[in-house]
Structure 1
Amino acid sequence: MTRPGLLFAALLAAAPAFAAVRSGDVIVRHATVVDVEHARTIADQAVVLRGENIVAVGADREIARGWRAAQTLDAEARYLIPGLWDMHVHFGGGPELIEENEALLPLYLAHGITTVRDCSGDLPGQVLAWREAIAAGRLAGPRLLTSGAKIEGLRPVWKGTIEVGNRTDVDAALARLQEKDRVDFVKITDSTLDPPLFLYAVSRAKERGLRTSGHIPMALTVAQAVDAGLSSIEHIDYAYKAGVKDEAAIAADFAAGRIERAEANRRLDGGFDEATAMAAYRELARRGVSVTPTLNGSRILAYLDTDTHADDAYLAYIGPKLRKTYDWRIERAAKASPQAIAARHAHFERMAAVLPMLQRAGVTIIAGTDAGFLNSFNYPGVGLHDELTLFVERGLTPAQALAAATRAGPAWFGTLDRYGSVSAGKAADLVLLERDPLRDIGATRSVAAVIVKGRVHERRALDAMLDATRRKVAAWNASAGR
């Protein structure tokens, strides 16, 4: 064979090897991947990102041989987890607080939270606009899933609602939320909403294919709300209520006006029965109803007598007008008698004791903070890590707590095919940690880098986000004369 022929043959033989080298935008090398689903770690892995997607995951040596990318991030054996989700947050306080609320968005990213579920405040239109701006890349923040305006009765306690007084109103509200606002789910609350109309709203939302969460009226049992189609129970108090042996009688007495709310709460507090609870929780698990405990917010309020939070360093990230919304709960707690304070502590401890029971029954526990306006010292961003710490302190394993913050949210929205693991085909929303969260849930605080929609934010960039919010708050404090 002539020399040119030999050269051609050599190139032809080598062509498959050249063709096998594929390109991505980012390669994360030498990572210890945390497989949350199976509670295990896989050492020395590489993860290839292209656009907003993970396109390959495998042994570092194999990926390095077959892939190239414009950017390489050496994980140096750090721990790579799916992005964290905070499934219960609020934005609000009125139009004059829009700027202060917007400044909270980067706090979530800086703490590894790549998705939040807004459970409605009094700025629903603004939140919808932020959702679109974040999705389009015009605004820095976590992916925002929102209920838009919540459904309530006439003349409700809470602002930012769609008021409904009859079934026609409910149907119109659901049509607006689904067709005009294109909400991600529906929030239904109970300050003035008639209980039968609550059940109608839940059932009609389900018929429309909309997931629902809400506050269950005292005049209804948890089982009635679940039968109507409620998708998630927000706040562990309602899960506790489902474990009260005489729940139906208490609900009936309240509905008939035979007892006031204080007496209903007293009977509920004293009526918990473990056998009743476990049967109810197994039914929740069978029906696919999740529970978002929001323990951290309850703990903060219960123990304001022992920790006033006045010296919290994190207050540097909370604007003065938002801090002002904390006052009414702080003042109420300060006026409590010693007996009321003791009752407050005991109530929280009773509620928190339900958490491991839910886990044993197979209920999907969702991590959500209730962070936002009104909820004193329950901070956006770091609050999720506080919630996970409480989960473990109160009986979950670190693996179970981590699943509540990475897989339970996607499971609730039906998007586990897209989120919740570090694997090919999933969204490139990832967090790199300094330590192993399966050994110590506190490791979720040790954020080395956050990847959102394929874009890498290393620690320096995350610190810059925090600094930008801190400087804004300092300027607002100066203007307010703080």
Structure 2
Amino acid sequence: MSRYVDPSTVTGHVVLRDVTVVDPQDGSRTPGQDVRVEGDRITSVSATGAPADGAHLVEGRGRFVVPAYQDMHTHALNTPEDVDGAYALMLANGIAGFRQMSGDRALLKSRRAGTLPSPTGAPDLKATSGDLLTPLNASTAEAAVRAVREQHRDGADFVKAGATTRVTFLAALEEANRLGIRLGGHLPPDLDPREAARGGVWSIEHLGPGVTVFAAASSQEAEVRAKQAARKLPPIPKVRFPGADKLVMKLVKQMAVNPATSTSEVEACAYELADGSYDQAKAEELAALFVAHSTWQCPTLIRVHTQQFGDAPAHTQDPRRRYMAPAELRAWDKSARKFAKLPEATRAALRGHWDAQLRMTKTFADAGVPMVAGTDACGAAGIIPGFALHDEFDHLAEAGLDPLTILRMTTTEVARFLGEEGRFGRVATGMPADLVLLEEDPLADHTALRRIAGVLRGGAWWDRAGLDAVLERVAGRPGAH
């Protein structure tokens, strides 16, 4: 059950009638189609015909059907005891699946036992890591290897590097490759991204973070790296003691609200130097290397924007804050006040880096670097679960990506990213009955992706009025994290 989402009364045999089916794979639009659903699967997609006996009909003339969206960078299950609010917002925004970026042994055990929370309309957990690699469990190469082995044994889908060094990252990566488990996440400041790509890293999050990737596209690369080397790892314990795991997670959550509040003057100089010495040819060489090694990128532009513009009214006065739990907002506001106290030169460097991030995203897209859409929702300041994925679409469009590319990044490319190509992400017979009915053409303008007429989740239908009712319930008892 859910505090916010009432069970749908339209389930079983559902037909989306006379719709235009949009295929992200080939970019085609096929009008005049009936999409028939039985249970949680699409049973047929064919030219509109006579109404099926006993079917629930959803009129779709003039509307467009796309696969439901996937958010490939969230932390929804950081609060498994209270995930209902975030899940409700995800449903209302057309999201049917997500990648959990900070798991632990308890979460993996719960998944194996089938006891993860599953309120009405909840999205699918598509993949999760175990514990983040940090100085606590990966302070040495040997410890990093041990941590990877433990996560592989516990059934993690991938290993996430959170706060590592070049030595510990590469040791973990080599062991992950040996065991056949993927490794992705944050690149350490002393690691060349080209080395990570050649080593087989699965995904790079947040375009780095920091200037790690941007140094490789600088005409003054050595100087940028020298400044970047001054960046210190977070103050996380390196020795286990009773309660150490809980302490580390508490520290990580506090830092994750907005890591930019701890930007040093040296780091700010590194941003300015990297951005001022940008070399397009080197950026294209880096992109080509990522393509050659299938190094995925999850830019999370909404996340870097909320970090680098931490006290901007667009975030601190966002009317959608009304959906967030009060304690969450208090943490966000505290972070905004801390950000406002940074030296103006540091804040200017952070603001100035935004254009470089947009430029790099476009360079990667133009080169065919594989990319998926993610938000870093659930714990990060200014990021409203569900809605944030549409913010991400806006920023991807701001970077110059076309509507089809954006749609693919949240549908078909996600299936390929997770090694499940052909199993979800298209409107086709046999695919999951996770669909979004849109009022406008998403291939003409990406903003159509938020013009949702209704959502089919696991074969259950919620129309616009039903989704609006969900949002009002969340606003009435704010509980999203």
Q: With structure 2 as the length reference, what TM-score do the two structures score?
A: 0.81
Amino acid at match of 2:32: D
Counterpart CA distance in 2 for 1:455 and 1:134 is 22
User: Structure 1 residues 381, 460: closer, same or farther in 2, change over 3 A?
Assistant: same
How far apart are 1:51 and its partner, in Å? 2.6
* The one of 318, 340, 350 aligned to 2:346: 340
Is residue 192–residue 213 contact of structure 2 (8 Å, CA) maintained in 1?
no
Q: Is the 8 A contact 1:245 1:273 kept in 2?
A: yes
Structure 1, 129-138 or 84-93: larger mean CA deviation: 129-138
1:440 Cα deviation after fit: 1.5
CA shift, 1:455, in A, is: 1.9
Q: Does 1:207 align with 2:178?
A: yes
CA–CA distance in structure 1, aligned partners of residues 405 and 435 of structure 2: 18
Aligned counterparts of 1:204 and 1:179: Cα–Cα separation in 2: 13
Aligned residue for 2:393, secondary structure, equals helix
- Worse overlay, 375-384 or 453-462: 453-462
Cα distance in 2 between the residues matched to 1:84 and 1:289? 22
Distance in 1 separating the partners of 2:428 and 2:115? 24
Check conservation: 1:385, 1:444, Cα contact below 8 A.
Answer: yes
C-alpha separation in 1, matches of 2:116 and 2:107: 14
Structure 2 residue aligned with 1:175: 149
State the one-letter code of the partner of 2:158. F
Determine the structure 2 residue equivalent to 1:25. 13
Identify the range of structure 1 (331-340 vs 449-458) with the bigger mean alpha-carbon deviation. Answer: 331-340
1:156-182 CA-partner distances (Å, limit 9, x unpaired): xxxxxxx123455334423332332x2
Q: 1:246 to 1:311 in 2, by over 3 A?
A: closer
Distance 1:255-1:319 versus aligned 2 partners, 3 A rule: closer
| Residues 1:357 and 2:383 aligned together | no
1:148 aligned onto 2:129: yes
Could you say if the C-alpha distance between residues 338 and 350 of structure 1 is closer, same or farther in structure 2, counting changes exceeding 3 Å? Answer: same
Paired residue type of 1:376: A
Give 1:364 deviation, angstroms. 1.7
Q: Secondary structure at the match of 1:120?
A: coil
Whole-Å separation in 1 of the counterparts to 2:152 and 2:293: 24
Q: Which residue of 2 aligns with 1:3?
A: none
The corresponding residue for 2:197 is 226
Deviation of 1:83 (Å) = 0.9
CA distance in 2, matches of 1:294, 1:120: 16
Give the equivalent residue in structure 1 for 2:416: 411
Residue 376 of structure 1 and its aligned partner are, at CA, apart by 1.5
Where does residue 236 of structure 1 map in the other structure? Answer: 207
**Secondary structure of 1:468's match?**
helix
What fraction of aligned residue pairs are identical, expressed as a percent?
Answer: 29
| Cα separation, partners in 2 of 1:54 and 1:242, compared to 1, 3 Å | farther
CA apart distance, 1:323: 1.6
1:110 is aligned to: 92
State the shift of 1:395 in Å: 0.6
> Per the alignment, do residues 408 and 329 of structure 1 end up closer, same or farther by CA in structure 2, a change over 3 Å counting?
farther
Q: In structure 2, what is the Cα distance between the partners aligned to 1:136 and 1:473? A: 19
**Post-superposition offset of 1:421:** 1.1
Q: Secondary structure at the match of 1:291?
A: strand
Distance in 2, Cα, partners of 1:431 & 1:378: 22
Paired amino acid for 2:16: V
CA distance in 2, matches of 1:438, 1:202: 38
Aligned to 2:330: 324
Counterpart in 2 of 1:283?
A: 289
| Residues 314-346 of structure 1 deviation map (CA, whole Å, 9 limit, x = unaligned) | 111100112223245312321134333322221
Deviations 1:178-217 (A, max 9, x none): 332x223221122xx3321211112222232222211111
Describe the shift of the 1:340–1:246 C-alpha distance in structure 2 as closer, same or farther (beyond 3 A).
closer
Counterparts of 1:32-431 in structure 2 under 5 Å? 32-61=20-49, 64=50, 68=53, 70-91=55-76, 99-120=81-102, 125-126=106-107, 129=110, 140-155=121-136, 163-180=137-154, 182-190=155-163, 193-237=164-208, 238-247=212-221, 251=225, 264-307=270-313, 309-373=315-379, 375-431=380-436
Q: Measured at CA, do residues 465 and 211 of structure 1 come closer, stay the same or move farther in structure 2, by a change above 3 Å?
A: farther
Q: Distance in 1 between matches of 2:215 and 2:372?
A: 18
CA distance in 2, matches of 1:179, 1:240: 35
Contact preservation (8 Å) 2:134, 2:161: no
Larger Cα Rg: Structure 1 or Structure 2?
Answer: 1
- Please give the per-residue CA displacement for 1:26-61, whole angstroms capped at 9, x wherever unaligned: 222111111212223111101122232222111113
Q: CA shift at 1:225, angstroms?
A: 1.1
Deviation of 1:358 (Å) = 0.8
Residues 271 and 353, structure 2, Cα contact 8 Å, conserved in 1:
no
Alignment size in residue pairs: 434
Please name the residue that 1:4 is paired with. none
Is the CA contact 1:134–1:142 (under 8 Å) kept in the aligned structure 2?
no
**Bigger mean CA deviation after superposition, 231-240 or 429-438:** 231-240
SS of residue paired to 2:15: strand
The AA in structure 2 aligned to 1:282 is A
1:124–1:148: 8 Å Cα contact kept in structure 2? no
Larger RCO (alpha carbons 8 Å, 6+ apart): 2
Q: Verify the 8 A CA contact 1:221 1:248 in the aligned structure 2.
A: no
**Relative to 1, partners in 2 of residues 1:26 and 1:327: Cα closer, same or farther, differing over 3 Å?**
same
Whether the aligned pair in 1 keeps the contact of 2:215 and 2:224 (CA below 8 Å) is: no
- Coordinate RMSD, CA, aligned: 3.0
